[in-house]
Chain A
Amino acid sequence: MIEILSALGPTSVQDLGRFEQYRFGVGTSGAMDDVALRAGNILLGNDENAAGIEIPVTPFKLRFGRDRAFALTGAEVEADVGGRAIPPWWRSRAHTGEILTIKAMSRGARSYLTLSGGIDVPVVLGSRSTQFRGEFGGFEGRPLQTGDVLPCAAPNPSAETSDLGVGPADLVLARPNMPAGDTTVRVIIAGEYDAFDSTAQKLFWRSGWKITPQSNRYGYRLQGPAVNPVSPIEKRSHGIVAGVIQIPPNGQPIIQMRDAQTSGGYPKIATVIKADMWRVAQARLGSTLRFEQTAYADALAAEDEVSVYLDRLRADVRLFAELQGCR
């Protein structure tokens, strides 16, 4: 088990998500940066869907109840365990009673703590992810608080041997010729794109969109020039998924994120492709987001690139385990 000594903001237990309950109005929840969660679990030899902790705010502190391998992936963080500095995207070992401290987040917006064996909270409606709106799943259906004691499954012996690092997703999957500082994400145009005239469309593509403080796991509310359709659109409610960019009547886009409602009626101008959602998840409040149009086939190719990256990690971790076995 592990004991939370300090958790701020909506720190929560998440796996990859709850994908088969839309018809009951239940959204997916799940790790905002699914690539980071998968990478952490791969490092530890876990099932990739094992639950970890999503940490959006520092400082964060916890105590290990027994020896256990763990990893911090996602954001670049300054962290230590038992006084030893821990680099992100590395698997490390903690001893019984040692304290892990994440002091600061220097790049990115969310750190993922994965533990050998995974966090063993009950599976509710097919997932261990926290459903904030429904107040179920995760740890008691709520954000983690100081004093919470989380059960962990039996550690995976293959991960308990020695430290091992992998290339962070934001370096390996970096896209060439992108403006520094801003986050550019690829989008596919959505149902109501043609209801915006060419001036509004250009504003959407060419503007830098500031991520406002009202952005969270539900959605990213952006700020920039007002983008409005030629005439107001009042749609019948329909299903939406994470990544959909809605334009409410104030003309300020909202990107739906993992805790978004399962349906909505505001016009949709575009959808962030699945392969770039982790980039949105790691974009910080106050930073600038830009949109780049892409074709459906290219979006699938981008998903393949993420798969190749994860396949490489799997192969490297396996190879390392075999080399260890030979010694």
Chain B
Amino acid sequence: MTASDRPRISLLGTTAILFEAPGPFDLPHQRRIWTLATTASKWPGIREAIPLITNLMLTFETPPRDPSTLMAALNDAWNEAQELTIGGREIRLPVTYGGEIGASLQAVANHCGMSIDDVVSIHAAPLYTVFALGSHPGYCYLGGMDPRISMPRRQTPLQRSAGGSVSIGGSQTGVSASPGPSGWHAIGHTSWIFFDPCWTTPAALAPGDTIRFEIERVIR
């Protein structure tokens, strides 16, 4: 096995540990991460298992005295993890591309060396899968973006980005659920509600759900 074939496991101080799966950013790997999350969430001393993009963070109820035992358990569980297929619901999200909120649309087009229309049609083409929730309340990380419209995160994160903004960060895309700081590039926006603390489950979407962006309007 080469180094890149092996999972990377690292401590986040004494309150959490991070497991990063080897291999591509794709649905089969993410499905194994969902399985690993289900398994690890039942281990003693673990407060919560939080899947993100082909990785998993475990927060500690009590920090382990010897983290190497936990690291070994994560490796073993990953090796055994089968793909967990979640039959989620499909959501259609109308998006206004460009405009004041999606002000980075032109910058993404320039970076990728294509027209605004190409960026929009490539972005709206796939059926995206909700890989994980994170960042801020109700935010969904989506898998399935065409790598041709990737763009590195900002040199310096913005202090404030609008709620509902549809953004690209690296090879990922997502929709912010509320206003806040962001290191991503906003290319459009939607007015859908993603989160309400009064709902039985506070987030509208869950891993395994799918999203299709509908081009409502393109502001050039």
Contact = CB atoms under 8 A, between A and B. Distances in A.
B53 A236 contact: yes
Contacts of B50: 22-23, 239, 262
A25 B201 CA distance: 12
A26 B51 CA distance: 14
Determine chain A's interface SS by DSSP, over half rule: loop
Interface residues of B, number: 57
B170 A249 contact: no
Contacts of B52: 236-239, 263
A241 B59 contact: yes
B13 A299 contact: yes
Could you say which of A235, A241, A274 has the most chain B C-beta atoms within 10 Å of its C-beta?
A241
B177 A303 contact: no
Interface in B20-63: 20, 25, 47-57, 59, 63
Contact of A239 (B134, B153, B202): B134
A124 B137 CA distance: 13
The range of chain A's interface size is: 35 or more
A70 interface: no
Interface string A13-27: 000000111111111
Contact of A236 (B11, B49, B139, B172): B172
Interface string A254-291: 10000001111110100111100000000000000000
A262 B18 contact: no
A248 B157 CA distance: 8
A23 to B, nearest CB: 5
Contact of A23 (B18, B48, B178): B48
Contacts of B135: 25, 237, 261-264
Contacts of B132: 237, 263
Interface of A: 19-27, 124-125, 131, 133-137, 187-188, 190-191, 214, 218-219, 232, 234-244, 248-250, 252, 254, 261-266, 268, 271-274, 296, 299-300, 303
Complex A-B, nearest 3 residue pairs according to Cβ-Cβ distance, in ascending order:
A239-B57, A263-B134, A271-B13
